């Protein structure tokens, strides 16, 4: 019987595609791995408020590392949560707007964005469809946010100017020329794995991470084995120990078979 391992799965671009479609082989692989005694965790940049999809959750996970390591849940219980203090959150929103960014604030219960920023934006429409009552207004809830990270649309903004002003508070994960995730210093998907290992008294060598993009680099590097999806970015491929097939070509199933998890 192989040693129990903890498996950490990114969501977007790893478990599902841009239409939130999950290959049946991915579902089967994760469920079989758990039946073989391994633990399965989501490890995502999404905050808990943005992890609502029943098809995703019904796969079955032992826990969730969310918000790039700022919140950890295990067996349904929250064991860690990093909240951005309100004064810093307000300073951050004012600053990113000053430099021409459009913010989305991400929290435990809600996402916050303003209609004038994202009303007709395809991503804004996607959020409205997915979030329902968990989507709130930044302006309408001013002073009452509970958030652990934020993302910004930054096209047309002064990227370097904004990054320089807030550099002491955040780590930046830049996706192309248009989107940046801003995570409190000292937190990422890799630190989330470390905290789970401490909780479970499990060595890092017994962890496997599956990801595809820039916010997965820390977990791909720190895990015992880092697996990049075949559709992953060049940076993610370089950070990984193994590159599997693309998401929609049974990438997770093939990786799990290759690594002897099933």
Q: How far apart are CA 207 and CA 63, in angstroms?
A: 14
Using 50, 70 and 90 to split pLDDT, how confident is the model at 2? low
**Mean pLDDT value across residues 155-183:** 94
Same domain, yes or no: 36 and 64: yes
Q: Which of 106, 111, 114, 134 is nearest to 215 (CA)?
A: 106
Same domain, 170 and 119: yes
Are the beta carbons of 171 and 188 closer than 8 angstroms?
yes
Domain count within the chain: 2
Reported confidence tier of residue 209, pLDDT bands at 50, 70, 90 = very high
CA distances from 11 to 1, 33, 62, 211, 246 (A): 29, 17, 15, 8, 14
Co-location of 51 and 112 in the same domain: no
User: Count of CB atoms within 10 A of residue 116's CB?
Assistant: 10
CATH number, residue 174: 3.30.1240.10
* pLDDT at residue 119, as a whole number: 76
CA distance 229 to 231: 5
- The answer to whether residues 16 and 105 belong to one domain is no
pTM of the model: 0.93
Indicate which CATH number applies to the domain containing 248.
3.40.50.1000
Cα–Cα distance measured from residue 74 to residue 84, given in angstroms and rounded to the nearest whole number: 22
Reading the block at residue 83, the tokens are 């909240």
**Among 184, 215, 237, residue at a domain's last position:** 184
Cα 226 from Cα 219, distance rounded (Å):
7
Decide: helix, strand or coil at residue 62. Answer: coil
**Shared domain check, 70 and 97:** no
**Residues 76, 25 share a domain:** yes
* Average pLDDT of span 1-28: 93
- Please identify, among 155, 184, 213, the residue that sits at the C-terminal boundary of a domain: 184
Q: Write out the residue range of the structural domain in which residue 140 sits.
A: 86-184
Say if residue 34 is in the same domain as residue 161: no
Residue indicated by tokens 């309100």 = 86
Structure tokens at 123: 């991503």
Contact 165, 93 (CB under 8 A): no
């Amino acid at each position: 019987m192989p040693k129990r391992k903890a498996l950490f799965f990114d969501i977007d671009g790893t478990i599902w595609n841009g239409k939130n479609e999950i290959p049946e082989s991915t579902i089967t692989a994760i469920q079989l791995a758990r039946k073989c005694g391994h633990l399965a965790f989501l490890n995502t940049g999404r905050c808990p408020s943005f992890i609502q999809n029943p098809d995703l959750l019904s796969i079955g996970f032992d826990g969730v590392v969310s918000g790039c390591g700022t919140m950890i849940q295990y067996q349904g219980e929250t064991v860690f949560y990093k909240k951005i203090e309100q004064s810093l959150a307000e300073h951050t929103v004012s600053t990113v707007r000053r430099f021409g960014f459009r913010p989305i604030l991400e929290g435990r219960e809600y996402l916050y964005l303003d209609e004038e920023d994202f009303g007709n934006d395809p991503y804004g429409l996607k959020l409205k469809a997915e979030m329902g009552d968990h989507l709130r207004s930044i302006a309408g809830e001013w002073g009452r946010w509970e958030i652990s990270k934020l993302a910004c649309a930054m096209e047309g903004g002064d990227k370097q100017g904004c990054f320089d002003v807030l550099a002491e508070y955040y780590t930046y994960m830049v996706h192309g020329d248009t989107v940046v995730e801003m995570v409190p210093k000292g937190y990422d998907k890799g630190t989330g794995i470390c905290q789970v290992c401490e909780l479970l008294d499990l060595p890092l060598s017994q962890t496997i991470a599956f990801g595809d993009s820039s916010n997965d680099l820390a977990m791909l590097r720190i895990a015992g084995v880092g697996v990049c999806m075949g559709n992953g970015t060049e940076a993610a491929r370089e950070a990984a120990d193994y590159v599997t097939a693309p998401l929609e070509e049974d990438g997770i199933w093939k990786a799990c078979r290759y690594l002897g998890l099933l």
